[in-house]
Amino acid sequence: MKLLRKPLLLLLVIVMFIFSSCKINIGSVKNTDSSSNSDSSSSSESSSEIDSSSIEDSSSNTSTTTVKPPVSNIGIPVNQHGQLKVNGSHIVDKNNNIYQLKGLSTHGISWFPDIVTKESFKTLRDNWHVNSIRLAMYVDEYGNGSCYLNNKQVNKELMNKGIQYCIDLGMYVIIDWHVLNPGDPNKYTSDAISFFDEFAKKYNKYPNIIYEICNEPNGNVNWNTNIKPYAEKVISTIRKYDKDAIIIVGTGTWSQDIQDPVNNRLSDKNVVYALHYYAATHKQSLRDRLAQCYKAGLPVLVSEFGNCSADGNGGNDFNEAKKWLQLLDSYHIGYYNWALADKNESCCIFKPGTNLKSGNWSDSQLTESGKFIKDWYTK
């Protein structure tokens, strides 16, 4: 018996090691499975704004490819997740895992160019867990001299810098054709075609790129007559060079009318439809609209949101803001907060006078909204 003692002890150690390894592997599988359950969490009650009987079965608009559970956003985003694409109601990564874009939007880069630095974007990636930057290029704004149409070369150079910094840092980047005033995107169709022709040709090899072709259509425009025909022309231009990038298309009433494309979608399968909200103005009824559109299989991206009123000012409503973000997280819908600027407005992340270039910001330089956003993104 004494002779057998050492081999028996060795065998016992080996068995315990194998059992321990199995427990670790089983645990990681369980964690992956449980993360997929969050996609089926309960949503807001349906709104009467949409007649659910008029919404087609989403199965006809949804890819049959199996979508894997969501993955972590932490790390170097593009290196880990590669080319994104649309699959049903979700954005998925190169491995077909659901991927949630969590980004920040610049204000107009022609007005607040200082934020467009590699240092600032790196801080947002590493310390705020931001995986994407939206570069807002105001188009006209009733002839404002700083906007794109009146200062094309300077604005394109600034846009190119921002894109290159995101590529260098492995971040996703939205090239935002920021139509706002006037609100009919067709006023700028030829300019948009020329703009996206240039940028799609230049950056078509990079999986970082996302195109947003009309920020907030508004005024006397609607999806069927104005927005969809415009989008078809611009998407056709982009697809000459870039077959794979996601394209964001704005919807009517400042990108709130996401119900309009549900039964009249664009034929391009890699399109998402923009929803914009400001928490102190847009509340349960718009969340209900989102819930119904999501259930109908419409891929939605919140390419702009704020915690204050729709004019960018007024008090922040963080209670409503949490309701919004909790709903978006439960659906794994991406979102971008407005705005990376130090303008004296409630919506801005930084207090006036903050050095935007450095990226070396203390919490004392953040506004009330800025602190909330940082805390939410890093929780």
216 flagged as catalytic: yes
Backbone Cα Rg of the chain: 23
Among the listed residues 119, 198, 212, 216, the single catalytic one is 216
Distances in whole angstroms, Cα of residue 288 to Cα of each of 135, 259, 261: 29, 11, 16
> What are the backbone angles phi and psi of residue 19, rounded to the nearest 5°?
-60, -40
Per-residue pLDDT of the chain (379 residues; tens, 9 = 90+): 434 444 444 444 444 444 444 433 323 222 333 333 333 333 333 333 444 334 444 434 444 456 787 866 668 999 999 999 999 999 999 999 999 999 999 999 999 999 999 999 999 999 999 999 999 999 999 889 999 999 999 999 999 999 999 999 999 999 999 999 999 999 999 999 999 999 999 999 999 999 999 999 999 999 999 999 999 999 999 999 999 999 999 999 999 999 999 999 999 999 999 999 999 999 999 999 999 999 999 999 999 999 999 999 999 999 999 999 999 999 999 999 999 999 999 999 999 999 999 999 999 999 999 999 999 999 9
- Residue 68, both tokens: 């894997």
- Residue 121, both tokens: 């974007």
304 flagged as catalytic: yes
How far is residue 346's CA from residue 339's CA, in Å, rounded to a whole number? 10
Among the listed residues 49, 119, 198, 304, the single catalytic one is 304
Residue 106 CB contacts under 8 Å (≥ 6 apart), including other chains: 112, 115, 116, 133, 134, 135, 136, 162, 339, 340, 341
